[in-house]
Amino acid sequence: MSEEATVQGMETHKRMSYLHWDDYFMATSLLSAQRSKDPVTQVGACIVDSQNRIVAIGYNGFPRNCSDDEFPWTKAKKDTKDFDPLKDKKMYVVHAEANAILNSNGATLTGTRLYTTLFPCNECAKLIIQSGISDILYLSDKYAEKPTYRASRRMLDAVGVGHRRHVPKQKQIIINFDDILEEDPNSSLNLNDLHL
Ligand SMILES: Nc1ccn([C@H]2C[C@H](O)[C@@H](COP(=O)(O)O)O2)c(=O)n1
Ligand SMILES: [Zn+2]
């Protein structure tokens, strides 16, 4: 039997396949990460208040007006003879979590939750603690053993900021613009004509 009960083609019950809150906010973070120009790791973050309202979102990128085409997206290799620390993206990138906090535009973040696609580093942990965020949900912890992430965990644990890996309820969420356009008789837009 289908999830949505129907009588003579009319939906009579609420739709059951709606997104769970945590999946919704993590998906928002993932969507935000898609804005990142970082060729290796795209990170997205979303801050949510106790009433499940999105306060701010962010992704990793260079500071405003620092050109994505002029600043380097490379990682400088320390043990090479032409090592140049100024050619390393980490000198310039604003992390997704930091951008989300900055994008909150002065709203109080006390007691909010941060959804992030990657566990926060130590610098972001400092900002998270100082801004009053009380819980972190993350997807990946791929750098867990690096000192910056161990320091992050140490600070978060010391002050009681909760952190847990988000286990998605849904395996995937498909966004297909075509689905909406196909059911709209007034749409003259043909997605095949788009220049992406
Ligand atoms: N929690 C984090 C961790 C990292 N980022 C950013 C910083 C870089 O743009 C990228 C990591 O690059 P990789 O070392 O994997 O080449 O992710 C962040 O925004 N938030
Ligand atoms: Zn960070």
Tell how far the Cα of 33 is from the centroid of ligand 2, in angstroms: 14
Q: How big is the CA angle at 156 (ends 151 and 162), to the nearest 5 degrees?
A: 140
pLDDT digits (tens, 9 = 90+) for 153-188: 999 999 999 999 999 999 999 999 888 888 888 877
Task: Report the atom number in ligand 1 closest to the C-alpha of 59.
Answer: 19
Q: Considering only CA atoms, which of 167, 109, 103, 174 is closest in space to residue 137?
A: 167
CB of 41 sitting under 6 A from ligand 1:
yes
Catalytic residue of the set 3, 70, 97, 123: 97
CB of 103 sitting under 6 A from ligand 1:
no
Partners of 141 in beta bridges = none
At 11, the amino acid letter reads E
Q: Is 95 annotated as a binding residue?
A: yes
pLDDT digits (tens, 9 = 90+) for 74-112: 999 888 888 999 999 999 999 999 999 999 999 999 999
Query: Which alpha helices (H) appear in 35-165, and where do they start and end?
Result: 96-103, 122-131, 147-159
Domain ranges of the chain: 21-60+95-165, 65-92
* Domain 21-60+95-165: CATH superfamily, name plus number: Cytidine Deaminase, domain 2 (3.40.140.10)
pLDDT digits (tens, 9 = 90+) for 112-134: 999 999 999 999 999 999 999 99
Tell how far the Cα of 41 is from the centroid of ligand 1, in angstroms: 6
Burial of 9 (0-12, 13-18, 19+ CB in 10 A): exposed
